[in-house]
Each structure stands twice: as C-alpha cells, then as structure tokens.
Amino acid sequence: MELLGLLSVYKLRNSRVLITGGAGFVGSFIADHLIAEGVKEIVLLDNFVRGSKNNIEKALSSGIVTLVEGDIRDIELLHILFENVDYCFHMAALRITRCSENPRETLEVMFAGTFNVIEACIRHQVRKIVAASSASIYGQAEIFPTHENHHPYNNRTLYGAAKTANELMLRAFHDMNKLDYVAMRYFNIFGPRMDTEGKYTEVLIRWYYLIKQGKP
C-alpha cells in the first residue's frame, strides 16, 4: 500500500498507531496493512456515521486492535487515546454532500475536529501524522491533461475549503512545532468496502455500472 510507503517498515514495527475514521473505507484498509507490517497496537476511532464494523472484523480478530466509538470533537477523549501514540492516520471526514447540507457541522468536524487531532499530536509528541486531503482543493480543471500546479486552492465547495484549511493548519504547525506530516490528496478512490450510497464521492463505481449496463 503506497500510503504506508511514507513510513518505513522499520519505524512501523512495534509502534502504537491511532487511526481516526478507522472503521471507514480507507481507515480499515490502513489497519489491515499496519497489522501485516507488525505494529504493536492499533487504536481505531470512529463515530460510525460512515464507518462499518463489517470493515474491521478481520482487524479486530488480530488481537492488537482496539475499537473506540467516539468523535474527533471530543477533546478529552482524544488526549486519552493519544497517550503513547507514535503515528496517527487522520482519515475521519464528512461526505462532500453532507458538508453542503450541514455547514455548521462541517465547521465543527472538518475544521475544529482536525485542529483537535493536530493539537493532540503535538501535545503527545506523535512522530508523524498522515492526513486525508482531497482533489477538491483544486477546483474545476480548465486544461487537460491537468498538472498538479494548475490553479491550486481554487475550490468552490465547503468540503474543499475544509481540506484546504486542513493542509494549511498542518503546514503551520509543522513550522511552529516541527510536526512531521503528509497530506494525501485523494482522487475519487474506489474499491472493496467503499460506501456506495453517496451522490458524488463514488462517481467512478457509478460510471462502471452504467458502462456495464450499456447506458450513457
């Protein structure tokens, strides 16, 4: 898994890892790969707005995974869970359509919630945070093929604004507190365990079904 290539196998072994959104599509696969790499302990934090316990059945059976049903808005809980954590994979997020429908919740989860996670990483001296960003920060492409430097930070959605703010917070705390981080700009990822009930985020799988049915 390329995501784990950002952290050497040597560093991962015998480490304690926390995954926010750990029962989700991406978070659950990260857990599986971490187990294979020989980590000491994994803590999965999820509020099950989008995650599913079916996604983590295999991980939970490993004996090194602890599931905590909670929310990144719960600052006290975060500081308890981050005790002795070496690495954090911050995958928790709201769906893009939910961000449009619930702006205040977006502010509380996507902006403040991510700040809470970053703050906990700094306070507990986490070695590195790998955070889920998004292609949404780029906005609509105007030239094709599209280079990564093509009008960056030109989004027009609240979801994209949140992801942009997340990246800027990570950059700022890197400069202020030497927080080591990587932000992954996902582009319509798909695969097993994905949530197929959304109107936008699963566009590739919807195209696949239409093509398979011979529809435009």
Task: Tell me whether residue 87 is one of the annotated catalytic residues.
Answer: no
pLDDT (tens digit, 9 = 90+) per residue, 157-181? 999 999 999 999 999 999 999 999 9
From the list 153, 159, 186, 209, the catalytic residue is 159
Domain ranges across the chain: 2-212
Percent of the chain whose pLDDT exceeds 70: 86
> Contact 170/179 with Cβ under 8 angstroms?
yes
The pLDDT, as a whole number, for residue 138 is 81
Q: From CA 31, how far away is CA 28, in angstroms rounded?
A: 5
Residue 69, pLDDT > 80, answer: yes
CATH superfamily of domain region 2-212 = NAD(P)-binding Rossmann-like Domain (3.40.50.720)
pTM: 0.86
